Amino acid sequence: MSPGSSDRCWIELSGENPRLAREELRSILQTLGEGFLLPGPAPEAFVPVAGATDRTLGELALRIAHARALYRPLGEGGPPDIAQLLEREGALGATARIRVTSADPTDERASCLRAWGDAYRAQGGRIDLTDPERTFRVVSGTGGGSTYVLLEQLRVVDRKALHARRPGSQAFRQPVTLSSRLARTLVNLAEAPVGGTLLDPFCGTGAIPREAGLLGHPVFVSDRSAKMLRGTLRNLALAGITPELAGVADVSELPGLLRDRPRVSALVTDPPYGRASSTGGEGWRDLLSRLYTLVPAIVGAEGTCVMLLPLPDPDLPLPAGWRGRSLGLAERVHASLSRYVYRLEGPHHLPGPGRANVSAGLPGRAL
């Protein structure tokens, strides 16, 4: 039997987009300055993390969009080993629920469930399926065959809150409105320091600044369309968020709009491509080229720019010293449009403890 590690946590991904979920998880840990992804095998849909404190795990559960829950591994082995682990945990006397999930009807975990429950009760533990003090889960082990891992649930990601902010629930919406899950993921991928200001210069219906504000970031918003800016402000007000700066502005007018304002930590946006949203007759590549020239002055050498684009790499000249990286497919909108995440990183961008504050008392907690 292999014991669990006290400094490890297993993150259960939600399954919508595994690659993007891993990128998001890595970015959040880098931003918080604590914890790292572990290499090596893990059960499907789980990612092992080491080196994160309880406080960081709490922040992670509040922030992440592509995950379901956080677990602590208690040990790995065959069915008798799992029973022994549960008997040991049952000696603590708490009420518990034991979960097994499998798409395979022949999986022996289902037949072992009653014996595992008896093992938990053997030393005084009690089973409560309604409101347990502890929740255990048995998943397939890394060694294959009849090897399993016993996990204890630490925190649950509030996916219902994200769903409640779905595009159809907003007061102002457009045909292709960014989902709250993807908007939150973009904010996390920006790796801005906790409490750092974010700018969305194509704010649209406001999904990105709303998620940024809920995570405690001051937000600046602008759009070349007064109608879209009004819609964004309406949606933000319903979420209890007041942007620190809002204005109608073309890309070239951003320096004037931001004059005398602190430099933003990250620019996060879903620019128009001239399909469902207007570029004013300008090609979207030309629009991005103009934005690229201004990014260093807007966010500085430590900042980032995260965008949704209709192809993995825009293949445009980068600002001097800046790096560009495709983070993969974000979503397929319809047969002729897919959106990809692309990130620009400043020459001195280095997320970590020096730029992050993991204080639990920050305003605008995640909902």
Who's near 54: CB < 8 A, 6+ residues apart? none
> Of the given ranges (52-56, 264-268, 275-279), which has the lowest mean pLDDT?
275-279
Amino acid at 337: L
Do residues 136 and 179 both lie within one domain? no
Which of 157, 177, 198 terminates a domain? The answer is 157
> What SS3 state is found at 39?
coil
Whether the per-residue pLDDT at 2 is higher than 70: the answer is no
Do residues 170 and 152 both lie within one domain? no
Do residues 145 and 174 both lie within one domain? no
Flag whether 230 is in a domain: yes
What DSSP character marks residue 166?
Answer: -
Q: What is the pLDDT of residues 209-241, one digit of tens each?
A: 999 999 999 999 999 999 999 999 999 999 999
pLDDT at 209: 98
Flag whether 359 is in a domain: no
Q: What is the pLDDT of residues 12-65, one digit of tens each?
A: 999 989 999 999 999 999 999 999 998 877 777 899 999 999 999 999 999 999
Do residues 82 and 168 both lie within one domain? no
Which CATH number characterizes residue 270's domain?
A: 3.40.50.150
pLDDT at 280: 65
Flag whether 23 is in a domain: yes
pLDDT at 337: 86
Do residues 314 and 182 both lie within one domain? yes
Residue 302's domain comprises: 160-345
DSSP codes joined into one string, 188-226: HHTTPPTT--EEETT-TTSHHHHHHHHTT--EEEEES-H
Measured between alpha carbons, how far is 332 from 338 in angstroms, rounded to an integer?
Answer: 4
Measured between alpha carbons, how far is 320 from 317 in angstroms, rounded to an integer?
Answer: 9
Q: Which two tokens stand for residue 363?
A: 């305003």
Going by pLDDT thresholds of 50, 70 and 90, the confidence category of residue 278 is low
Flag whether 54 is in a domain: yes
Q: How far is CA 352 from CA 31, 49, 79, in A?
A: 5, 16, 41
Whether the per-residue pLDDT at 356 is higher than 80: the answer is no
Give the range with max mean pLDDT: 35-44, 139-148, 253-262.
Answer: 253-262
Who's near 17: CB < 8 A, 6+ residues apart? 66, 328, 329, 330, 331
